[in-house]
Amino acid sequence: MKRGFTLIEMLVVSAIISLLISLLVPVTSSVLERGKATQCKSNLRTMAQAVSIYATEHQGFFPPALVQSGSETQGWDFFSSGSGSDQELKPGWIWEDYGINHMLQCPGYSGSDNWQGEAYTGYNYNTSYLGGMKTVVRGRVIRDVPSSNIVQVKTPASTAMFGDGEYASGANKFMRAPYPGDLDADFSGRAAGTQGFRHNGQTNVVFVDGHVESREPLVKGQSTGFLSADNDLYDLD
């Protein structure tokens, strides 16, 4: 005669299954997060390689961070024209029309790009020392700050190029040093250009020499913030 499970036995089995699930879920989550961090680092390396190619083809100059004229913007990541449903996006300066746009999406970031509704977001570019800006209004140049040249970078291994961009209201694609830099001395909203520590409490950054690092926040538990207390990891020295 076959005997079924008693209520006690079923409860014991259920408890064991629940215990196993509780042990496996954090492990699975951790593995997924590590995978996102690894993909993020790969994206950053590819972006740095693209900049290296750009600099080789442009007498050593880094790509501009932004060139803006009316409704047209030419960014390091995208060229944009129009707005709303009429907006058109094309690959930006670093891609030279090759169109590897998906590389601009950090797999660990899902918030707003806080810019112009661009499809991919999560990374920012050193606009304090590397990428310059130009603004034209009604045909008149009101701001023209050229990008730096790679020969000006004295310590490529400690000059940040791209990183996990994030601040309280979303992601900003312009990385800012804590204090005014060579290219943005008149800029005041520096807190918008911070990094997001979203990969298991760390942030990823690629330096001018092409190597990628994961860095801890300056303040333990901080979700966004600068890479260094001063401009040490941003400047050309």
Average pLDDT over residues 1-15: 59
Average pLDDT over residues 218-224: 94
Tell me the pLDDT tens digit for each residue of 144-164.
999 999 999 999 999 999 999
Q: Which residue has the higher pLDDT, 29 or 74?
A: 74
Q: What is the pTM of this model?
A: 0.85
Tell me the pLDDT tens digit for each residue of 101-154.
888 999 999 887 767 667 789 999 999 999 999 999 877 888 899 999 999 999
Tell me the pLDDT tens digit for each residue of 11-28.
666 666 666 566 655 655
The answer to the question of residue 234 being in a domain is no
Number of domains in the chain: 1
pLDDT reported for residue 101: 80
Give the confidence band of 177 by pLDDT, cuts at 50, 70, 90.
Answer: very high
The answer to the question of residue 233 being in a domain is no
- pLDDT at residue 6 is higher than 80: no
pLDDT reported for residue 22: 62
The answer to the question of residue 177 being in a domain is yes
pLDDT reported for residue 150: 97
Question: What range defines the domain where residue 116 resides?
Answer: 8-225
- pLDDT at residue 83 is higher than 70: no
pLDDT reported for residue 154: 97
The answer to the question of residue 237 being in a domain is no
The answer to the question of residue 235 being in a domain is no
Q: Three-state secondary structure along the chain?
A: CCCCCCHHHHHHHHHHHHHHHHHHHHHHHHHHHHHHHHHHHHHHHHHHHHHHHHHHHCCCECCCCEEEECCEEEECCEEEECCHHHCEEEECCCCCCCCCHHHHCCCCCCCCCCCCCCCCCCEEEECCCCCCEEEEECCEEEEEECCCEHHHCCCHHHCEEEEEECECCECCCEECCCCCCCCCCCCCCHHHHCEECCECCEEEEEECCCCEEEECCCCCCCCEECCCCCCCCCCCC
Q: Which residue has the higher pLDDT, 4 or 59?
A: 59
